[in-house]
Each structure stands twice: as C-alpha cells, then as structure tokens.
C-alpha cells in the first residue's frame, strides 16, 4: 500500500499567450506586431501518489488542475520539473506509457457516436492486445456491476447520458491499467448513476489496486470516493491531505444549529455570530479558541426555549470556499490558519 | 496489424451508417459525361484529327471521368480531421491511446475509400461504360492503374497529414487547405491534362509530387500511349515510392516538433 506510483517535483508550465486587443483595426495590427504575455499556469507543484489510492484533485476553474493532469498524462510538455510515473516520464515515453493508463473525460466522448459501445470495446481490445478470455471475463463483470447488459448493443446516440458515462468508464478500465485519470466522471448524472459509478471505482481500487486520480467540482465525489485530496489554486498546491483532515479543517470553529419551541426575538441573539436564522431556528458559529463551547451551549439552553441542538463542523463547502479564496499555503494539519 | 484491420472495420461501419448519401452522388455522373461527349466530339470533328496531344476522342472524353474516379480512390479529409482535433481538444484523447495518429487516420482513410469504391467507383464505372464505351481499357491497363492509384492514395494521405499538422501553428488551416486544393487540382492535372501546359510549367510539375496524384493515375486509366511500356510503369511506381518516403520523413519530423509545443484545448 506504500508503494509510490507517481512522484512530481517542481512541475511548472508557462504558456505564451497572444495578447489581443479589442477592435477591428487592432486585429490587423496584431498580424504585424505580436504582443505575447506569459501565463504561469502551474507554478511549481510537488506531490506523491501511492498505489491503490483514490486521489481527488480539486480547484477553481483556471487554477491549473487540467494543465497538471495533462502533464501527468503525457499530452503536454512542462516548462520545468520532473514527473515519474511507474518509471516513465509521461511526455517523453508517451507511446509506451499510455498503455498503462486509462482515461475518462466526462465532457468528451471516446465512443463512436453511430455505433453500439461494444464496437468501441472491441477496438480497445485490439489496441491494448487484451486476450480474448480476459476481455470476455472483464466485460461480463463490468456489465453486471454497471447494469449495462443490454445497452452496449445499442447505438451510442440512443443512450442516456448516464448510460453513456458508464460505457465511457468501461473504455477507461477495460485493459485494467494500474493508473486511471477520471476528469469529472459524474458530470450531469443523476444521484443513482453517480452512486453506481462511485461504487464501481471503489471496487476497482479495492480488487485490482488500481490508482485513480479524480478531478471534479462535485464535492460529493470527493467525500464519498477519495482517500486523499489535493487542492490546487492559482497554480500551486494549497492543500494536500486526507479527507478527514479537510472536513475538520477549521477544528477551532463549530456551527451550532438550534431549534426553538417558540419564536425568539432577534435582538437577544446579538451577542452571538449568527450565520443564518429562521422564525423558529438559528445557526451560530462559535470560535472555540475564544469561547468555551460547553459554556456557550449551557448559556443558550438556559436563556432560550430550546427544542433541539446540533453541533457540527464547518461544512466542507465552506472550507473549500475559504481555501479557494485565500492564497497562502495551508498544507498540513494543525497549522495556524488565518481566518478572515 | 490486427488493430489496423479492426480500425478499418469500425470506420467502415461508421461510414455505412448512412449509405443513401453515396447513391445521390451517382446521379451527377451521367450529366458530366454527356457534357464531355458533346464538347469533345465537336472539338475533334472541327479539328478533323483522330488524336489531340496523343489523346484519342474516347480517351479525352474519359479523362474527366477518370479524374473523378481517381478522386474516389485517393480522397480523404485527414487534414480537416487533424485541425478539428486541435481546435476541439479531442487531440488529447487521441494521444492517450496507444495507436499513433498517423496509423489511426490512415485506417480511417482506407475505410472511407473502401466505401467510396463500393458505392461510387463500381456503379459509376458501370454507368459510364453504358453511356460511352471505354474501348481503350485492357485488363493489364486496369491492373496497372490500380497499382498507381493505390500509391497515389498513400501519397495524398501523407500530404494531407502534413497539412493537418500545420494546424498546430495556424490553429485553423482552412486557408492553407484551400491553397493546397487549388495547387493539387491545377498542377496535378485534374483541371486540364498537363500536356496542354507550356513546356516550362510541365518541367515544374515534373519536380513536384502533385502530378502523381491525378495526372499519372489518369493516364494509366485511359491507357495513354506514352505509358504503355513496362519501363514507364516502373518509373512512375519508383518516383511515387520515393515521394512517399520523403514526405513521410517530413511528416514524422513535423509531428515530433509540433507535439512539443502542442496545447491541448479545453479542460
């Protein structure tokens, strides 16, 4: 379980981008004089991923996560830095390296639109030289796990998005690669399909020690799937730790949800940091570094007609929003974090 | 090799998903041929000759039919497909499969041509022959034509691949493609037989690969007197292969260079 499959050191990518000005005449001008600006998309990334891990990579749009993934998968040359994946340098050994790789892009299809998925599977079988028996056994297993027994014989254009995504997933793992990149694997899917796909990924990781790298904007994917999460923002890693540590990120801040038996005057709650309030309920945030949680709760129970109290961590959405909007590095647990 | 055959098989299925399209193009052929029959019959009658620049009347009438057939054998839109991959970011997916783009696109082009031969060349040939008999045709000339046109296909494919790769620089290579299209039809002899060009221009054409796309295959099709010797046949085959080898090396180098600077679009 401790074997490291991916080792990234000082990875950087700088793009030269043509600066285009507005207006019709300047379009002509730009034919003669070209203004370039340098975009530092990835500014020095270091990370390690273990075999069999399901790693979530998240970050706001334009943070550099796709650029990182492209370099890890070998389709983009970096400006600087080294990457070692199973002994390969992805962009240099691309043709040999991709044999050991599975990919799924939620927004791009690799299935033939006019043909049934089975045809694509058969092509993949030839591409990766999968032996006939293995191919049959795997396909049978995947068919029952994903419930796609019938649909793989229907033209792709007649399938629903969820059915198609399941087939895309089969395309990514049919050759049982040790490493799979999943880019937004559950985008646009209903809750049941999402659940099926997550279960499938978890099972692959358990049974075959397959390493998955998942990029997503769906926090439920991260919460239900990933062992570890890497957050990339503005081209650098701002968080890289286990899922539990992300959810207890603001360990010194709690949210207390209180339900009342009868309406409470708003003025009376002024001394607390109210996050939201309704007619018969209120949510307040308590900084446990400043106040004693026990004391505050007792005080509330004492002063108000309380029906129910719920003490929770800061929701993960809030944590991530906070990390996205702050620049400082917050890698590691227990570090003091500037809360603003 | 098996993967290559499987790709052809799949591309065949894709191209056969909508077969009616091909049959429509068959309707156009008789019109072009009838037009040529009238045009050249009156030109030959007016000049009171049996041959013009070595072409008999039936060879001249068939010349344009033959260029259509050569088109059917060599046509592919690899250039457009590659620039589309670049513009849509689909290139990423292609690069992540353990089959080179050159091979993958070649399989696709071959499949496309098999469909073309089945649905356009064979029925077209039957229709043409019924309207105006190809009295110049022999089994040997037809076989030689197949050999020359097969190489023309490969040559055209490699050229198109190079044009496709230029899209890495220009992002959109539509303009360049149109220029190349015009050059190929004109200097390749698809517009008028090269024999009608001034001497210096014919010399220029001799040093370019384009005449091996149309002019030479067409001459073998219509069994022109100049190429009836075995020596002429081997000469064309040899030059074809030389051009293919040279352009293949250029394509490989260009591909390697471009890949270093490629920016795969889209997240």
Residue A249 has pLDDT above 60, yes or no: yes
Does some domain include residue B264? Answer: no
Residues of A with CB under 8 A from a CB of B: 15, 61, 65-66, 70, 73-77, 94-96, 98-99, 101, 103, 105, 107-108, 110, 112, 114-115, 119-120, 122-123, 126-128, 183
CATH code: domain A253-313 is 3.30.70
Question: Which positions in chain B have a beta carbon within 8 angstroms of at least one beta carbon in chain A?
Answer: 2-3, 6-7, 10, 13-14, 17, 89-93, 95-100, 259-264, 266-267
Contact B165, B254 (CB under 8 A): yes
Q: Which domain holds residue B128?
A: 2-259
Report residue A339's pLDDT band, with 50, 70 and 90 as the boundaries. Answer: very low
Parallel/antiparallel/unpaired status of strands A281-287 and A236-242: unpaired
List pLDDT tens digits, range B117-140.
Answer: 888 899 889 988 998 889 899 999
In a domain, B199, yes or no: yes
CA nearest neighbour of A99 among A60, A139, A69, A129:
A129
The residue of chain B with its CA nearest to that of A73 is B96
Confidence of residue A337 (pLDDT cuts 50, 70, 90): very low
Residue A20, pLDDT score: 66
Q: Which of B96, B252, B262 should we substitute to test contact with A (largest number of A Cβ atoms within 10 Å)?
A: B96
Domain ranges of chain A: 4-12+43-247, 253-313
pLDDT at B31: 83
Minimum-distance CB partner of B96 among A77, A101, A119: A101
Nearest Cα residue to A104 out of A19, A162, A171, A49 = A171
Q: Tokens 């109210």 correspond to what residue?
A: A274
Q: Indicate the number of domains in chain B.
A: 1
Do residues A195 and A152 make contact, with C-beta atoms less than 8 angstroms apart?
no
- CATH number for the A4-12+43-247 domain, one of 3.40.920.10, 3.40.50.300, 2.40.50.140, 3.40.50.1820? 3.40.50.300
Q: Do domains A4-12+43-247 and A253-313 have the same CATH topology?
A: no
Residue to test with chain B: of A71, A100, A105, A183, most B Cβ within 10 A? A105
Cβ atoms of A236 and A11 within 8 Å: the answer is no
Per-residue confidence band for A325, with pLDDT thresholds at 50, 70 and 90: confident
Which tens digit of pLDDT belongs to each residue from A25-80?
766 666 666 677 788 889 999 999 999 999 999 988 888 888 899 999 998 889 99
Q: Cα separation of A120 and B102, whole Å?
A: 19
Q: What pTM, to 2 d.p., does this model score? A: 0.82
Q: Would you call B85 exposed, middle or buried from its count of C-beta atoms within 10 A (0-12, 13-18, 19+)?
A: buried
**CA distances from residue B3 to B16, B80, B110 in whole angstroms, order as listed:** 20, 23, 14
**Which residue(s) pair with B56 in the sheet?**
B51
Higher model confidence: residue A320 or residue B234? B234
């Amino acid at each position: 379980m401790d074997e490291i499959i991916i080792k990234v050191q000082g990875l950087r990518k700088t793009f030269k981008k043509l600066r285009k000005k507005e207006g019709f005449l300047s379009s002509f001008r730009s034919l003669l004089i070209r203004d370039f600006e340098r975009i530092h998309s990835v500014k020095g990334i270091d990370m390690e991923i273990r075999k069999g891990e399901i790693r979530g990579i998240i970050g706001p749009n334009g943070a550099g996560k796709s650029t990182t993934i492209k370099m890890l998968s070998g389709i983009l040359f970096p400006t600087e830095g080294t990457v070692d994946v199973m002994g390969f340098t992805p962009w240099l050994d691309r043709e040999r390296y991709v044999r050991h790789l599975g990919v799924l892009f939620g927004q791009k299809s690799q299935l033939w639109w006019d043909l049934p998925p089975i045809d694509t599977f058969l092509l993949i079988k030839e591409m990766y030289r999968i032996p006939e028996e293995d191919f049959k056994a795997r396909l049978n297993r995947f068919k029952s796990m994903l419930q796609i027994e019938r649909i793989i014989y229907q033209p792709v254009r007649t399938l629903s998005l969820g059915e198609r995504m399941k087939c895309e997933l089969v395309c990514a793992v049919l050759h049982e690669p040790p490493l799979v990149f999943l880019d937004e694997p559950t985008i646009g899917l209903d809750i049941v399909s999402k659940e099926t796909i997550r279960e499938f990924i978890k099972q692959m990781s358990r049974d075959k020690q397959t390493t998955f790298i998942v990029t997503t904007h769906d926090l439920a994917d991260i919460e239900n799937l990933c062992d570890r999460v890497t957050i990339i923002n503005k081209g650098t890693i701002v968080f890289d730790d286990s899922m539990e540590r992300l959810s207890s990120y603001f360990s010194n801040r709690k949210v207390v949800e209180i339900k009342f038996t009868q309406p409470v005057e708003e003025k009376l709650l002024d001394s607390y940091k109210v996050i939201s309030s309704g007619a018969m309920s209120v949510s307040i945030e308590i900084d446990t570094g400043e106040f004693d949680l026990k004391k505050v709760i007792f005080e509330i129970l004492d002063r108000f007609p309380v029906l129910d109290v719920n003490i929770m961590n800061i929701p993960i959405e809030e944590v991530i929003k906070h990390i996205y909007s702050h620049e400082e590095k917050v890698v590691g647990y227990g570090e003091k974090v500037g809360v603003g | 090799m098996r993967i290559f055959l499987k790709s052809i098989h799949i591309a065949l299925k894709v191209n056969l998903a909508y077969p009616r399209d091909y049959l429509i193009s068959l309707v156009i052929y008789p019109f072009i041929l009838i037009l040529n029959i009238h045009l050249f019959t009156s030109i030959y009658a007016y000049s009171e000759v049996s041959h013009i620049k070595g072409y008999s009347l039936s060879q001249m009438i068939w010349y344009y039919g033959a260029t259509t057939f050569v088109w059917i054998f060599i046509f592919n839109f690899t250039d457009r497909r590659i620039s589309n991959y670049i513009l849509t970011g689909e290139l990423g997916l292609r690069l992540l499969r353990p089959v080179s783009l050159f091979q993958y696109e070649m399989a696709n082009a071959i499949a496309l041509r098999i469909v073309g031969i089945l649905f356009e060349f064979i029925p077209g040939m039957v229709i043409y022959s019924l309207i105006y008999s190809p009295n110049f045709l022999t089994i040997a000339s037809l076989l030689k034509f197949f050999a020359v046109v097969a190489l023309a296909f490969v040559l055209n494919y490699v050229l198109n691949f190079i044009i496709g790769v230029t899209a890495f620089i220009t992002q959109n290579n539509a303009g360049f493609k149109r220029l190349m299209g015009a050059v190929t039809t004109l200097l390749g002899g698809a517009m008028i037989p090269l024999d009608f060009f001034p001497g210096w221009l014919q010399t220029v054409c001799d040093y370019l690969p384009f005449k091996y796309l149309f002019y030479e295959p067409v001459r073998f099709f219509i069994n022109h007197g100049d190429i009836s010797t075995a020596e002429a046949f081997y000469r064309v085959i040899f030059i074809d292969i030389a051009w293919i080898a040279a352009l293949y090396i250029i394509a490989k180098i260009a591909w390697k260079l471009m890949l270093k600077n490629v920016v795969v679009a889209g997240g």
